[in-house]
Structure 1
Amino acid sequence: MNGAARTSTRDIARAAVRAELAQVAFELFRREGFENVTVNDLAAAAGVSRSTFLRYFGTKEDAVLDAVDAQGGRIADALRARPAGEDDWTALRHALDTVVEHHRQDPIGALALSHLIMKTPALCTRSMEKQNGWRPVIAEALAERAAPSRPSALGPLVRAAAAVDCLNIAVDHWTASDGTLDLDDLIDEAFAALAPR
């Protein structure tokens, strides 16, 4: 077996353990409340030591929000894949489908996660911090789409921030409706409110 295969197998095993720990944490937070659960509680529920748990997740918040980090890169990749002639705002709206896909595939799980984040100030704050990290990545993808005659560092960053805010407002409304409203329609409505006229 070569080194690449070993690394790949190790990475797969690590990702599986990480996913299992995150699921155990999520279920415990839902049942007991985020503030009532300690890292020691999480480790015990998962059947691992505290140090093992902390090797996978540095904080309780990260056990819930770990997947949020990668979403900014996925949005940027989807943005780069949009047709070149498409306006930035339309391209941004479609690029957000990479985030919304989880809500479509597992609406019950996504709704439970959204409720947990909304009712937990520490998770709300950490989620916003992570999403702030998306902005420069998305802005860079937007800048790559721009014509050479439109060199602007500020414009793509503002559009990226606005798109993320549109997503958040739509998800907040979707969560408040207990998933009865259509998330895609809410995002479309939020984007329409800021569309160039």
Structure 2
Amino acid sequence: MANEGMWNRTRQAAIAEISAIAMDLFLERGFEVTTFDDIATAAGISRRSLFRYFGTKEDIVLVHLADEGKLALEALEARPDDEPVWTALLNVLLLIDDGGGDRERLLKISEMMYDVPSLRSRSLEKHLQWQSDLLPEVKRRLGAASGDLQAAAVIASAVACLDAAGEIWTRSRGQIPLSHLLTDAFDAVQQAAR
């Protein structure tokens, strides 16, 4: 079992390194122009090895989104049980902070995400996985009378708020904090539902 843990850590380190190298190429040359061969060469691995880690260029950019769904679930489970589910989801999504890291790099990555149709589409697919990840906990928080539809609708609304806030943050070049935009989006949906 110890070997399994070491293998997994080694694989995760390789994925992180390849992702960083590829992201540099995407931002320098453009997503659509950069090829798998370019990434493999820059990473010092074969094209075949690269395919062992990633099936598509989109997967390289979005590798972190799948993990964020699981992290969001852990954060939601840690929220107080008496906190309304909509407030709990907002507080979980507020953990996605636009203030960390290199702001210009984050903006360039976000612009790429919103400008490249295949990335935008795959990003939405990854967010759908969040719906599956969060569904049991949101359903539990809504109570015994709620079903999958109610829980799925609440999660989809929250993720749509995140996406809308992210796009406005990107288009404003980060002039408005993402946390403010996300809170405003959640408030807008809540007011419209009244």
Task: Note whether the superposition's TM-score is higher than 0.5.
Answer: yes
The answer to whether structure 1 residue 110 and structure 2 residue 103 are counterparts is no
DSSP-derived class of the 2:138 partner: helix
Say what the alpha-carbon RMSD is for the aligned residues.
1.4
Please tell me the residue identity of whatever aligns with 2:126. Answer: K
Work out which of the residue numbers 164, 187, 195 in structure 1 matches 2:159. 164
Confirm or deny: 8 A CA contact 1:139 1:157 kept in the other structure.
yes
DSSP-derived class of the 1:178 partner: coil
Partner residue in 1 for 2:29? 32
DSSP-derived class of the 1:36 partner: coil
The answer to whether structure 1 residue 126 and structure 2 residue 122 are counterparts is yes
- What is the number of equivalent residue pairs in this alignment? 191
Mapped to 1, the partners of 2:126 and 2:22 lie a distance apart of 19
Deviations 1:13-46 (A, max 9, x none): 2211111100111111111111111111110111
CA drift of 1:10 comes to 2.2
Structure 1 runs of 4+ aligned residues shifted over 4 Å read none
CA drift of 1:70 comes to 1.4
CA drift of 1:78 comes to 1.3
Mapped to 1, the partners of 2:162 and 2:131 lie a distance apart of 13
Please tell me the residue identity of whatever aligns with 2:161. Answer: C
Work out which of the residue numbers 73, 76, 80 in structure 1 matches 2:77. 80
The answer to whether structure 1 residue 67 and structure 2 residue 64 are counterparts is yes
Confirm or deny: 8 A CA contact 2:79 2:88 kept in the other structure.
yes
Please tell me the residue identity of whatever aligns with 1:60. Answer: K
Using structure 1 for the length normalisation, give the TM-score: 0.91
Deviations 1:47-69 (A, max 9, x none): 11001111111111101111111
Q: What 5-or-longer segments of structure 2 have no aligned partner? A: none
Mapped to 2, the partners of 1:7 and 1:134 lie a distance apart of 27
Please tell me the residue identity of whatever aligns with 2:121. Answer: T
* Fraction of identical pairs, as percent: 36
Q: What 5-or-longer segments of structure 1 have no aligned partner? A: none
Deviations 1:132-176 (A, max 9, x none): 12112222210122322x232211100000000000000101111
Work out which of the residue numbers 166, 180, 190 in structure 1 matches 2:185. 190
Mapped to 1, the partners of 2:170 and 2:150 lie a distance apart of 30
Using structure 2 for the length normalisation, give the TM-score: 0.92
Mapped to 1, the partners of 2:124 and 2:173 lie a distance apart of 21
Mapped to 1, the partners of 2:126 and 2:48 lie a distance apart of 24
The answer to whether structure 1 residue 173 and structure 2 residue 168 are counterparts is yes
CA drift of 1:107 comes to 5.0
The answer to whether structure 1 residue 22 and structure 2 residue 19 are counterparts is yes
